[in-house]
Structure 1
Amino acid sequence: MAQRTIRIRGARTHNLKSLDLDVPRGRITVFVGVSGSGKSSLVFDTVAAEAGHQLNETFPPFTRNRLPRWSRPEVDWIDGLSPVVVIDQRRLGGNARSTVGTATDAWTYLRLLFSRVGTPYVGESNHFSFNDPAGMCPACHGLGEVVVSAVERFLDLDRSLKEGAILLPGFGDGGYWYDRYADIGEFDADTPLREWTAPQRDALLYGGERAARLGGGLPKDYEGVVDRFERIYLHTPDQLSDRKREVIARFTRSDGCPDCCGDRLKPESRRVTVGGRTIGELARMEIAELAEWVTGVTEPAVAPVVAALRARLDAMVTIGLGYLCLGRATTTLSGGESQRVKTVKHLGSSLIEMLYVFDEPTVGLHPVDVAAMTTLLEQLRDKGNTVLVVEHDPAVMAVADRIVEIGPAGGERGGELVFQGTFAGLRRAATPTAAALTRRRRVVVSPRTPRSHHRVAGATRNNLRNVTVDIPAGVLTVLTGVAGSGKSSLAAELLAQHDGVVVDQRPVGASRRSTPVTYTGVATAIRRLFARRTGLPAGLFSPNSAGGCPDCGGLGIVYTDLAFLDGQETVCATCRGRRFTAEVLGRRVDGLSIADVDDLTVAEAVDRLDEPAVVAALGHLAEVGLGYLRLGQPLSTLSGGECQRVKIAKELREAAGPTLYVLDEPTTGLHLRDIDTLLDVLDGLVERGHTVVVIEHHLDVVRRADWLVDLGPGPGRHGGRILYQGPVAGIAGTATARALRDDPQA
C-alpha cells in the first residue's frame, strides 16, 4: 500500500533545528511563518532538494551531469517522496529571444499551424521561428530590435569643443580624436555648440553630404562623429571590452527593427496568413483575444494543432494571464507573472502522484484574482498530487488541508515547528501568524497633506490610455488595480518624467561572497574601523582582498569538482572556515576579530561596535526588521522577503535630500506581521521628506496610504484608465473597493 505521508526526521538545513514533521500526501499543505523562519529551508532546500536529488540518481552519471544540480539537504532521513516540480518566483530567462509564446510552447503550435495551412506556403515550422536561421529576420537576427546611436546624448550644446562638447570618450580637448574636429579650421572650437548653426552641428555629427553642403575647409574624407562612433563601437567584430560595453550602454538605445518592425521573422514568413492574419499580428494580440480567434480555424488537417494551442491559451486565461501577448519578452515579466507562466505547462498534465512545490503563487495577483489560483491548487490536488505551498495570503491558507507554521521568529530564533493543523485551528493558536490573522486593520482617516505634486502627462506606455495624473509629493501613494491594469506602466512613466529610486523585485547579488553588509556598504565602515584601531590597511580586513585565506580564497570552504558526481564542499583546513589569514584574525577591536564580527547579528553588532558610522549604517538593517541576520550570512541563504528589505536598507543608507522612491510590491515574501515593520519603514521615509509610491495588492498597505490611484477596470486592453484617485476612504465601485469592503480583517 502506498505511503500516505512524507516523513521528515532531523532536518537541519540553514536554521532548521533538527525538525521532525509528517506531511500528508495527496493534500494541499501550506507552510507559514515570519520572514526568515525556515519555511523555504524546509520546503525547497530540504523536501524538494532531496526529491530532486533522488530522481537524478536514477539516471546514468553521464545524464546526471546535464541535469539541474540539487544540493543534498542536512537531514537524517526523508521518505515518501515523489518526482518534484518546483514552481518558484525566479524570473524567466534573461534571454532576449525568450517570449511568452516560446516559454509556454504556444508559439510551437502556432508555428506548426502556419506551416501547414498558411498561404503562401514557405516551408516547415522552423521558417516561423525567430530563433532559427531559416526564419529569423536577417537585419535584427530575430531579436525584433536593433541597437542605434542615441545621437541626442552625444553633445552638450552649452559647451564648446574645447570645453568637451562631444561627450564620447576621446573627443575632449587632448583626447585622441579631438584634433580631427577642433583643428581642421571649419568648426569654431571656442564657441558653445548651441550658438552654431543647425547645418554646422549636422556636419559635425553626420559628415557626408551635410559636410559637403558647408563647403569650406572640411577634408573630402571627413568622417562625422556618428559614423566614427558606430565604426569603432558598433561595427567591429572583435570581442567587446567592459569599457566598450559601458560606452555602448551610455550612447545607444534599442529601436524597433526597421525591416521586420518587431515581428522578428524574415520577409517571406511575415507575409504568410491564416484566416487573414499574419503570425506577427497574432503575436501582438492579447492571449484572451487570440484564444477566441483560434476557434475560427476549422481545417480538419490541423484540428489536433488547434486543440493543443487552444488548450494552452485557455490555461493562460484561466490563470490570469489573458492580458499578455505571445510576443511579450519574458525579461519584462514580473516575478508573479513568471511563476504563472511556468504553471501553465502543468495544467494539462495527466501525471499523478507528483509533488508540486509553489513559492507564493499569489504574488502579483489582485485579491479578486486569488480565487483562480486557489482553484488551480485544488485541481492539482484532486488529480492525486501532493501540493506544498509557501504562502502568506490568508485566502490560500483557507483552502489548505493542512497548515504548518515554522518559527517562532526569524534567523537563529526560528527553525522550529510551532503549529500544524487546520486553518480554523491556526486562528485559535498562540502563534505569530494567528496573532496577525486576528488583528483588525483600519483605513487611514487623517491622510498627510502633500507639499506638491509630480505630474505624469499624456502617458501612453503599453496599455495606458493617454493618462495624466498628479502623484502627490511628500506622502505615501499606492497604485492598485488588477494584474495587467497598467500599474507598472504608470510607475515607469513617473520615473521617466521625474528622477527617482526604484526598489523592485529583481534579486540582489547572491554569490557566496555577498552578504547584507557588503551589499549595503556597511562592510566598508567596519573595515575602516579595524584599520584605524589596528594600524593595518583596510584591505586586509576583507576576505576578498589581501587579508583573505590564500588556500580557500577567503571563502572558508574548499570546493572539489567531482566531474559527473556532485561536487564536494569541505571546511578549509587552514583557516577552519574563518576566511582570513592568521595575522588578520589576531588583530582585535573591543575583543573581537573581524571574523567574530561576521558572526554577530545586526542587533548584537549595534551594541558591541562603538563606532557611530557603523552603528548608523547597521541601524538601517535593524530598522527594516533584519536585526536577527548575521553580518557574514551569505545573501544566497536569505528569503525573498529578506532580500527585498536588504534593498530598502541600502536605499535608506544612500538617501540624501528629498527623493522619489518607487517600490514594486515590497510585501513579496513578507509575513503579515512583518508588513507592519515595512509600513513603519515607509512612514519613516515620508516623515524624512521623501515621496513614496508603492505598486501593491496587499490590503494592509492600501489602508495605510495617504493617496490611492486605482487603475483598470480590467487587464491589458481592458485597462489603462484611472478609475479613482484620492484618499483611500473615498474609493467605491471598483475591484479594489470591493476587496477592501469584503476583507475579513477590515
Structure 2
Amino acid sequence: MNKEAEKDPGKYIIIKGARVHNLKNVDVAIPKNKLVVITGMSGSGKSSLAFDTLYAEGQRRYVESLSSYARQFMGRMNKPDVDYIKGIAPAIAIEQKVITSNPRSTVGTSTEIYDYLKLLFSRIGRTISPVSGKEVKKDTVTDVVNYISSLPEGTSVTILCPLHAHNHRSLKEELAVLLQKGFTRVIIDGLLSKIEDLLDDVSTGNVKSGDDVQVKIVIDRVSVASDEETLSRIADSAQTAFFEGRGDCFVEENQIVHVFCDRFELDGIRFEEPTPNFFSFNNPFGACKRCEGYGKVIGIDEDLVIPDKSKSVYDGAIAPWRGEKMGEWLNKLVKSALKFDFPIHRAYNQLSNEQRKLLWQGNTYFSGLDEFFKELETQTYKIQYRVMLSRYRGKTTCPECMGSRLRQDASYVKIDDSSITDIVLMPLDKASEFFTDLKLDPTRQKIAKRLLMEIDNRIKFLNDVGLGYLTLNRLSNTLSGGESQRINLATSLGSSLVGSIYVLDEPSIGLHPRDTHRLIRVLRSLRDVGNTVLVVEHEEEIMQAADHIIDIGPEAGTHGGNLVFTGTYQEILHDEASLTGKYLSGRQSIAIPGQRRKWSDFIEIKGARENNLKSVDVKFPLNVLSVVSGVSGSGKTSLVKRILQPALQKAIGNYSGEQTGSYDSIGGDYG
C-alpha cells in the first residue's frame, strides 16, 4: 500500500485508483479544511479528478443517505471509476456557467438578498403619499390613549365617531338602535342632544332628516387623568368609537377636533399595507399588471424604428417614414418644425429627452410616432400593414412600471427616502454604502437588526469577489459564466455551511488581476469556517495563496492523467517533473512575437450604450487576433456579445432574432 493510502482519513480525503476519463490509476491524498489548487495543462484531467471523481462521489453518497422519497426528486449520479475514496464529505460544485435561463431570475433573487429586502421593507418601510408627501399611518387605540394622555390633566375631552347610516333605515330608526346599544347623546349639525329628545323631535318634524344631516355619536366624555382606571376607560371608548365609526374616531377638546383613522389611507387614497408579497414581482399581488413582473412588454422597439441613431430626422433616421406614402408623416413634421423649434437636422442621438418625447408623442402641429403606429393597428386587416408592424415590434421597457416589474404603489414605501426599486438599481458597492450609512430609530433598528445583518453580509461577499458593479436587478441570464460562478460562491458564503467540500472551476476567469486578492480572501473565508476548498485553476496568484497544490499531467489527453506533483507552492517551483513548476519558476516562458501583423480593414461601432457603456466608438481590426480587456464589469461582454455579434449578424443578413444592445451605427469592411 502506497504512502497516500496510509494517511489519516480524518485529516485527508484519500482517493485510490481514480480512472475517470484519461486519469491513469491516480492515487492522491487531499488535506481537509485547506485551500487546494488542482492545476495542469488543459485536458490533462484536472476536471476529471475534481468534478467527475471527487464531486460526483461526494454528491452520490449524500443523495444515497436520503430517504427513497427524497431521492426521487434529486438527480442520480453514477459511481465514478475509482477503487475507493475515504474521508469524503458532502460536495458542492460551483461551475463556470449560467445556471438559469429564467427571465425572472435576478442577482437579487439568486443570492436571496431580494427576499431579505422584501421583509425589510414590509416591516420598517414607511408609506409616503404621492400627493402630500406625508407618511401614511394607521391609527390604533394606543395612539388615541397617548394623545389624550398628553393633554393637561383635568382637560375635558369628548370621544366621538360618525354615524354611518344603513340604506334601509331612517334617522329615527338609527337613533332608536343607538339607544338600544346604550348610547345616550349625539351631535347633529354641531348641536349636542339627547337621543330620547331627538326621537320625539324627529317624529314631530322638528329635526330634519336626510343624507345631508351630519350625525356624530358621543361615545364618552372624560377628564384627563393618569390613573389606570381612566386610561382603561379611554381605551375602551376608543375601541368602541373605531368599531361604531367604521374605522373613524374623533377626539374633541375646546372645540378642536383631532381625527384618528384605523384604515391605511391619506389624501383620499387607500394604500395597501406593506407585506413581503407586495414587493414580489414573482407574485401576482406585487407584480406590475401590464408586464406581469417581467419588466418588458411586446411593443414598438425604438432600436428597430430608428436603427441608425447617428442620422437626423431629415436624413431618414425614422425607418417606417421612408418611402413615398409613409413619407407624408415626415413631411408634416418637416413643414411644421419651425413652429415649435424642433431640430430636424440634428442627429437622433443628440436630441434631448424632451425632443425625443415630442417626436414620439407629437403635438397640435404633427402626429408623432405613437399616433402613426396606432393608425397602422387600425388597418391590420390589410396584410401589408400587419407585415410592417411586425418589423418594428420587439421587447420594450414596460411603460407602466418603467422596468421595475412591481406595481406602482410599491415605490411609495420608503426607507431613508429610497424605495426598493431605487435600491435594486444601485450598483452593489453603492448599495453597501447605503446600508452602512442607514440610520434608524431604536425601535426600527431592533426590528431590522437581523435582516440588515444578512443583507450587509451578502452584499459584502459580492463586493469581495469583484462584483460591486452589478445591480440586484441584473438578470441572471445576462451574466457571464465567471460572474455567475462568483455569485454562487458569494451565496455559498452567505449560507454558512461547514464541513463540506467546495469544488470551483477557475473562478479567476473574467476577473481583472486587480481583484484577484479579493477572490483569494473569499476562498480563505470559505476555508476558515471549516470547509475544504478545491479550485481548478491556472492563476499564479491563487496558486501562491493555496495551502496545497496538485499538478495533473504532464500533458493533455492520452499523454496526461498522471499525478505529477503534490505539495506546496514553494516545492513545485523546484520540481523538475512539473511543467507548471517550470513556468512558475521562470525556467520556461512563452516568447513575445517580435513582429505584429498589420491591418487596414475594420468593423466600426459608434455610440455603444448597452448596460454601463457610455456612447463608446470603437474599431475592431479584421484578419488579426484582437483582445478586448479591462477590469471586471467595464463593459467587455456588453460590447462584444451584446452589440458586436448580433449587430454584425443583422448587418450581413444572418439575424437570429437575438435582441441587439443599444448603439448608433455599425460600419466598416464586413461586406
When normalised by structure 2's length, the TM-score is 0.60
- 2:41·2:553 contact (CA, 8 Å) conserved in 1? yes
Match of 1:266 in 2: 407
Distance 1:304 1:375 in 2: 24
Report the secondary structure of 1:35's partner residue. coil
Question: Cα deviations across residues 659-690 of structure 1 (Å, max 9, x unaligned)?
Answer: 97xxxxxxxxxxxxxxxxxxxxxxxxxxxxx9
Distance 1:289 1:152 in 2: 30
Residues 144 and 227 (structure 1 numbering): CA distance in 2 closer, same or farther, change over 3 Å?
farther
Counterpart pick for 1:137 among 288, 307, 321: 288
Q: 1:391 aligns with which of 534, 537, 540?
A: 537
Distance 1:15 1:497, change over 3 A: closer
Of 482, 499, 520, 1:336 maps to: 482
464, 468, 477: which one pairs with 2:613?
Answer: 464
- Whether 2:262 is the aligned partner of 1:255: answer no
Asked if structure 1 preserves the Cα contact closer than 8 Å seen for 2:91 and 2:503, the reply is: yes
TM-superposed deviation, 1:382:
2.5
Q: Contact 2:39/2:549 (CA < 8 Å) preserved in 1? A: yes
Cα deviations by residue, 1:465-518 (Å, 9 ceiling, x for unpaired): 23223333443332221101122233244446655999xxxxxxxxxxxxxxxx
User: For residue 223 of structure 1, what is the aligned residue in structure 2?
Assistant: 381
- Taking the aligned partners of 1:453 and 1:222, their CA distance within structure 2 comes to 42
Given residue 93 of structure 1, which amino acid in structure 2 is its aligned partner? T
SS in 2 for 1:358: strand
Q: Deviations over 1:535-560 (max 9, x none)?
A: xxxxxxxxxxxxxxxxxxxxxxxxxx
> 2:601·2:669 contact (CA, 8 Å) conserved in 1?
no
Q: Render the CA deviation track for 1:74-97: whole Å, top value 9, x for unaligned.
A: 112111011212111121300000
Instruction: Supply the AA of the counterpart residue of 1:430.
Output: A
* CA–CA separation in structure 2 for the residues paired with 1:110 and 1:213: 44
* Match for residue 407 of structure 1 among 538, 541, 553: 553
Q: Is the 8 A contact 2:379 2:385 kept in 1?
A: no
- Which residue of 2 is the match for residue 363 of structure 1? 509
1:80 equivalent in alignment to 2:124: no
**1:22 counterpart residue number:** 29
Q: Work out the CA distance in 2 between the residues paired with 1:209 and 1:379.
A: 59
For residues 524 and 16 of structure 2, the distance between their equivalents in structure 1, rounded to whole angstroms, comes to: 28
1:291 to 400, 422, 432: 432
The answer to whether the 8 Å contact 1:356/1:387 transfers is yes
Relative distance call for 1:381 and 1:396 in structure 2 (3 A) is same
1:199 touches 1:210 (CA, 8 Å); kept in 2? no
Aligned-residue offset at 1:401: 2.0
| Residue identity matched to 2:603 | H
Look up the match of 2:157.
none
In the alignment, the residues of structure 1 paired with residue 594 and residue 650 of structure 2 have an alpha-carbon distance, to the nearest angstrom, of 28
In structure 1, what is the equivalent of residue 345 of structure 2?
Answer: none
Residue of 119, 127, 146 corresponding to 2:126: 119
> Residues 291 and 153 from structure 1, CA distance in 2 versus in 1: closer, same or farther, beyond 3 angstroms?
closer
Distance 1:61 1:360 in 2: 35
**1:309 alignment partner, one of 431, 440, 455:** 455
Shift of 1:197: 4.7
Amino acid at match of 2:278: H
CA–CA distance in structure 2, aligned partners of residues 458 and 406 of structure 1: 47
Provide the residue aligned with 1:489 in structure 2.
638
The structure-2 alpha-carbon separation of the partners of 1:367 and 1:500, relative to structure 1 and needing over 3 Å to count, comes to farther
Matches of 1:659 and 1:87, distance apart in 2: 42
8 Å CA contact 1:32, 1:404 repeated in 2: yes
SS of structure 1 residue aligned to 2:515: helix
Give 1:99 deviation, angstroms: 0.2
Q: Specify the alignment match of 2:577 in structure 1.
A: 430
Asked if 1:5 corresponds to 2:151, the answer is: no
Q: Is the 8 A contact 1:11 1:46 kept in 2?
A: yes
Alignment match of 1:47 (pick from 50, 54, 60) = 54
2:116 matches 1:109: yes
Which residue number corresponds to residue 35 of structure 1?
42
- Contact 2:300 2:396 (C-alpha < 8 Å) held by counterparts: no
Q: Share of identical aligned residues, percent?
A: 37
- Alignment match, 1:244: none
Q: Structure 1 residue aligned with 2:325, among 177, 196, 217? A: 196
Distance 1:471 1:197, change over 3 A: closer
Task: State the one-letter code of the partner of 2:418.
Answer: R
Offset at 1:193?
8.5
Q: Secondary structure at the match of 1:478?
A: coil
Higher-Rg member (1/2):
2
Task: Identify if the C-alpha distance between structure 1 residues 229 and 500 changes in structure 2 by more than 3 Å, giving closer, same or farther.
Answer: closer
Q: CA deviation at 1:209?
A: 9.2
Assess if the C-alpha contact under 8 Å between 1:405 and 1:419 holds in 2: yes
Q: Kindly state the Cα deviation for residue 148 of structure 1 after the two structures are TM-superposed.
A: 2.7
Q: 1:278 to 1:200 in 2, by over 3 A?
A: closer
How far did 1:100 drift?
A: 0.3
Deviation sequence 1:207-246 (CA, Å, 0-9, x none): x9979999xxxxx987254875699xxxxxxxxxxxxxxx
**Unmatched 5+ stretches in structure 2:** 1-7, 128-271, 306-320, 332-367, 653-667
Distance (whole Å) between structure 1 residues aligned to residue 669 and residue 326 of structure 2: 39
- Give the counterpart letter for 1:79 in structure 2: K
Alpha-carbon shift at residue 365 of structure 1 (Å): 0.5
CA contact (8 A) 1:297 1:306 kept: no
AA partner of residue 464 (structure 2): T
Aligned-partner Cα distance in 2 for 1:96–1:105: 16
Amino acid of the structure 2 residue aligned with 1:362 = S
Summarize deviations over 1:307-364 as a string: whole Å, max 9, x none. Answer: 2111111111111111100000011100100001001122245443221111111111
Q: Aligned AA for 1:418?
A: V
Q: CA deviation at 1:33?
A: 1.7
Tell me how far apart the structure 1 counterparts of residues 527 and 408 of structure 2 sit (CA, whole Å).
47
Q: CA deviation at 1:28?
A: 1.9
**SS at the partner of 1:147?**
strand
Structure 2 distance, partners of 1:211, 1:276, is 39
Unaligned runs of 5+ in 1: 155-191, 215-219, 232-247, 503-657, 661-689, 691-746
Q: Do the aligned partners of residues 476 and 293 (structure 1) sit closer, same or farther apart at CA in structure 2, a change above 3 Å counting?
A: same
Counterpart-to-counterpart distance in 2, 1:457 and 1:102: 34
- In structure 1, how many angstroms separate the alpha carbons of the residues matched to 2:373 and 2:17? 78
**Aligned: 1:477 with 2:606:** no
Q: For residue 420 of structure 2, what is the aligned residue in structure 1?
A: 279
* 1:375 to partner: Cα distance: 1.8
SS at match of 1:480: coil
Distance 1:194 1:49, change over 3 A: same
Write the letter of the residue equivalent to 1:305: L
SS in structure 1 opposite 2:48? helix
Q: Secondary structure at the match of 1:308?
A: helix
User: Which whole-Å CA distance do the structure 1 matches of 2:103 and 2:295 have between them?
Assistant: 9
Residue in structure 2 matched with residue 514 of structure 1 by the alignment: none
Say which of 510, 520, 524 aligns to 1:378.
524
Question: How has the CA–CA distance of structure 1 residues 151 and 294 changed in structure 2, closer, same or farther, with 3 Å as cutoff?
Answer: closer
In 2: Cα distance, 1:470 partner to 1:284 partner: 31
| 1:27–1:387 CA contact under 8 A, matched in 2 | yes
Tell me the distance in 2 between the aligned counterparts of 1:310 and 1:325: 15
- Give the counterpart letter for 1:128 in structure 2: F
CA shift for structure 1 position 430: 2.4
Specify which structure has the bigger relative contact order, considering alpha-carbon pairs within 8 angstroms and separated by 6 or more residues. 2
Task: Give 1:178-189 correspondences, 5 Å limit.
Answer: none
Residue type at the aligned position of 1:272: V
Deviation at 1:445, TM superposition (A): 5.0
CA contact (8 A) 1:460 1:467 kept: yes
8 A contact 2:39–2:537 mirrored in 1: yes
Amino acid corresponding to residue 258 of structure 1 in structure 2 = P
